[in-house]
Amino acid sequence: MDLGIAGRKAIVCASSRGLGRACAERLAEAGCEVVVNGIDPKRLEATADAIRKKTSAKVVAVAANVATKEGQDALFAACPEPDILIANNAGPPFRDFRELDRQKMIDGVVGNMIVPVELLQRAIDPMIKKKFGRIVNITSGSVKMPLVGLDLSSGARAGLTAFLAGVARSVAQHNVTINFLLPGPFDTDRLRSNHEAQAKKEGITFEQAIAKRMQTIPARRLGQADEFGAACAFLCSSHAGFITGQNLLMDGGIFPGAF
């Protein structure tokens, strides 16, 4: 399918690996000029080079911490008026809520709620003026089904979802959409590291830990980053202009609700 976004400019935050990288790669395949971002310059440039070779797209690497003003300035210096913005940032680690002091809570809310809003504030008006904009926020399946130990991540991302629900409706008339992708268990470095730690804790092998996890997923497998990227690219396409303010849960059927 031609997504109708060839030539559009995209910023994809936290895209040196994992789900962010998959989104950047799929947008590049669709013909977009893509700004990729991460904090490890070596890994980021390797990612940018790989995407260039695979897609022949223009890919600009911006090594910066998106949670800082300096990092955001660097992204928008590379792409002052993006047509597409993928807001992505690592969430707080598993932690008992009793261990969360005020600073840890503030840091979590800044990283997973305030930063995406700040990015959107900078991108939205040029999108409105051009009558085209696609904003996708990568949050988490825990927004719909909170997990013990991810309370801060769930709360901050749920706050972002509610914050932007009204904003999405206020800009829809300008062909600017704001949506959310909620990943469940995807085969990424972060998931692997979590299961390595879990395996060590339980005294089992990594393979046994993964097999145990897959038994809790109705699809009986982990999600693949590329299929997540494809869903993101569709939400950014010219065909998705009537979809806004929505949460697309990608978890292999774990969430048991009908709505």
In this structure, the answer to whether residues 179 and 57 fall within a common structural domain is yes
In this structure, the answer to whether residues 142 and 32 fall within a common structural domain is yes
Residues in the chain: 259
In this structure, the answer to whether residues 30 and 82 fall within a common structural domain is yes
Q: Which has the higher per-residue pLDDT, 199 or 104?
A: 104
- Asked if residue 256 belongs to a domain, the reply is no
- Asked if residue 258 belongs to a domain, the reply is no
Task: Assign residue 18 a region (left: φ > 0; alpha: ψ between -120 and 50; beta: otherwise).
Answer: left
Phi then psi dihedrals of residue 98, to 5 deg: -70, -20
In this structure, the answer to whether residues 176 and 191 fall within a common structural domain is no
Domain count for the chain: 2
Output the pLDDT for position 232: 98
- Asked if residue 4 belongs to a domain, the reply is no
| Residue 201 belongs to domain spanning | 187-222
Q: Spell out a b/e string for 86-116, using b for 16 or more CB atoms within 10 Å of the CB, else e.
A: bbbbebbeeeeeeebeeeebebbbebbbbbb
pLDDT tens profile 13-55: 999 999 999 999 999 999 999 999 999 999 999 999 999 999 9
Q: Is there a contact between 34 and 10 (Cβ–Cβ < 8 Å)?
A: yes
Please give the share of the chain, as a percent, with pLDDT higher than 90. Answer: 88
pLDDT tens profile 42-97: 999 999 999 999 999 999 999 999 999 999 999 999 999 999 999 999 888 888 99
- Rounded average pLDDT over 179-198: 90
In this structure, the answer to whether residues 112 and 44 fall within a common structural domain is yes
- Asked if residue 55 belongs to a domain, the reply is yes
pLDDT reading at 8 higher than 90 = yes
Distance of CA 121 to the CA centre of its chain: 17
Q: How far apart are CA 66 and CA 79, in angstroms?
A: 14
Q: How far apart are CA 14 and CA 17, in angstroms?
A: 8
In this structure, the answer to whether residues 121 and 205 fall within a common structural domain is no
pLDDT reading at 186 higher than 90 = yes
- Rounded average pLDDT over 211-215: 93
Band of the pLDDT at 259, cuts 50, 70, 90?
confident
In this structure, the answer to whether residues 47 and 86 fall within a common structural domain is yes
The residue written with tokens 């440039």 in the block is: 45
Task: Assign residue 252 a region (left: φ > 0; alpha: ψ between -120 and 50; beta: otherwise).
Answer: left
- Rounded average pLDDT over 187-192: 87
In this structure, the answer to whether residues 34 and 120 fall within a common structural domain is yes
pLDDT tens profile 146-169: 988 889 999 999 999 999 999 999
In this structure, the answer to whether residues 131 and 205 fall within a common structural domain is no
State the chain's mean pLDDT as an integer.
95
Q: Spell out a b/e string for 225-258, using b for 16 or more CB atoms within 10 Å of the CB, else e.
A: beebbbbbbbbbbeebeeebbeebbbbbeeeeee
Any idea what the CATH number is for the domain that residue 21 is in?
3.40.50.720
pTM equals 0.95
In this structure, the answer to whether residues 47 and 170 fall within a common structural domain is yes
The Cα-based distances of 220 to 62, 157, 194, 212, 253 in angstroms read 37, 27, 18, 10, 9
In this structure, the answer to whether residues 15 and 41 fall within a common structural domain is yes
